[in-house]
Amino acid sequence: MVQSKRKKYSRPRAKQIPLNLIREFLNSKDYVVDSLDQQWRHVTGVVRKNHKKLFFKMATTIKTGKMTEVEFFWNDLVNERLPSNAPFKVPHNVEKGLFDDRLFFFVSEYFGNKTLADKYPSRVKKLVNWISVIARSAHTISSLRQLSEDENERQPAGENLLESATEWASQLQSDTQFLLEVIKSSSGEIKEIFSHGDFVPWHMYDLGHNKFGLIDSEHGGWKPKYYDVAYFYLRVRQSLGEKELAKKFLLEFIDLLTENEKITFWSEFKPVLAQRLIGNFWEVEKNHDTGQGIALKRCENLKEDLLKERII
């Protein structure tokens, strides 16, 4: 296969930032620092002001900071438009700024540490009890509108989906040609909706009263229709190894659709899932953090199920 000449969809790099400097910076802004940590391309932590716990997040590079700004904007936008009876919450922002006049940070509401599931190490916890709530939340997000976005300035969803999948596939040893063909055959018909972009159970926190808090929306915005649904399905099936639970989520989501949407669901969902699966192959082969522990065999099994239309 011809190798890709550029890597538009490569992963952003991280830079190590001395935590003592960040602590001093936060102290100068009258925050008490409970904890700080840098696991990859962000420094995150728990801080306090006026006896209230808050969440701190700072990008370690200027490029990553662009995505961190998206998360701050997404939080504001969703809080403006989310119905009061929605089954989930997103953090209320407190402030934003620049560290060292260049690295974007924000402080927001803190949702605690009770995730609905964990990835490292893999722990499903009581995720099965949340599936219907999560399905309703995915449906709610897809109904929101980002009215300030200029549709004419965006690359068509199908083109973007195919471009990213083609680049990843060009770097793989695994055969993903069938998956590329699925995307190609539908690329001109793929629609866009408002999405979270990283809709996974380890970004969801138990807030009690059958409601969860949703964080990490740095990839949020306009995405191919059913992107969040495909992403959640793939991560639960691949990262957690819960094939039947992933299927249960899909069926719960489909039940929320109109009769016309149910008829077209598979044809619209299939190319998006194919693109996410090529990304999953890429993660496994390149042994990136988000792919550690995911067996290549799981990718092949999902490819076979998609080929034979055994997903739903």
Tens-place pLDDT, residues 262-301: 999 999 999 999 999 999 999 998 876 554 556 799 999 9
Average pLDDT over residues 116-121: 93
| Cis peptide leading into residue 121 (ω within 30°) | yes
**pLDDT at residue 188 in the model:** 86
Q: What percent of the chain has pLDDT over 70?
A: 90
Contact 105, 97 (CB under 8 A): yes
Which 3-state string (H, E, C) describes the chain?
A: CCCCCCCCCCCCCCCCCCHHHHHHHHHHCCCEEEEEEECCCEEEEEEEECCEEEEEEEECCHHHHHHHHHHHHHHHHHHHHCCCCCCEECCCEEEEEEECCCEEEEEEECCCCCECCECCCCECCCHHHHHHHHHHHHHHHHHCCCCCCCHHHCCCHHHHHHHHHHHHHCCCCCCCHHHHHHHHHHHHHCCEEEECCCCCHHHEEECCCCCEEECCCCCCEEEECCHHHHHHHHHHHHCCCCHHHHHHHHHHHHHCCCHHHHHHHHHHHHHHHHHHHHHHHHHHHHCCHHHCCCCHHHHHHHHHHHHCCCCC
User: Would you give the distance in Å from CA 175 to the centre of its chain?
Assistant: 25
Query: Tokens in use for 285?
Result: 């082969």
pLDDT of residue 3: 45
The per-residue pLDDT for range 213-223, each reduced to its tens digit, is 999 999 999 99
Q: Which amino acid is at 229?
A: V
Write down the pLDDT at residue 253.
Answer: 98
DSSP-derived pairing of the beta strands 221-224 and 192-195: antiparallel
d(CA 33, CA 31): 6
- Structure tokens, 20: 């003592």
Of the chain, the percentage scoring pLDDT greater than 90 comes to 83
The pTM (predicted TM-score) of the whole model is 0.92
**Mean pLDDT throughout 240-249?**
97
Q: How far apart, in whole angstroms, are the C-alpha atoms of residue 237 and residue 256?
A: 21
Average pLDDT for the chain: 92
What sign for the dihedral angle of Cα 98, 222, 187, 182? positive
The tokens for 166 are 């083609």
Domains defined for the chain, CATH in brackets: 19-109 (3.30.200.20), 127-307 (3.90.1200.10)
Looking at per-residue pLDDT, the higher value among 120 and 145 belongs to: 120
Dist. CA 264–CA 271, nearest whole Å? 12
- pLDDT reported for residue 295: 79
Model pLDDT for residues 7-28, shown as the tens digit of each residue: 666 666 789 999 999 999 999 9
Q: Is the pLDDT confidence value at 75 over 70?
A: yes
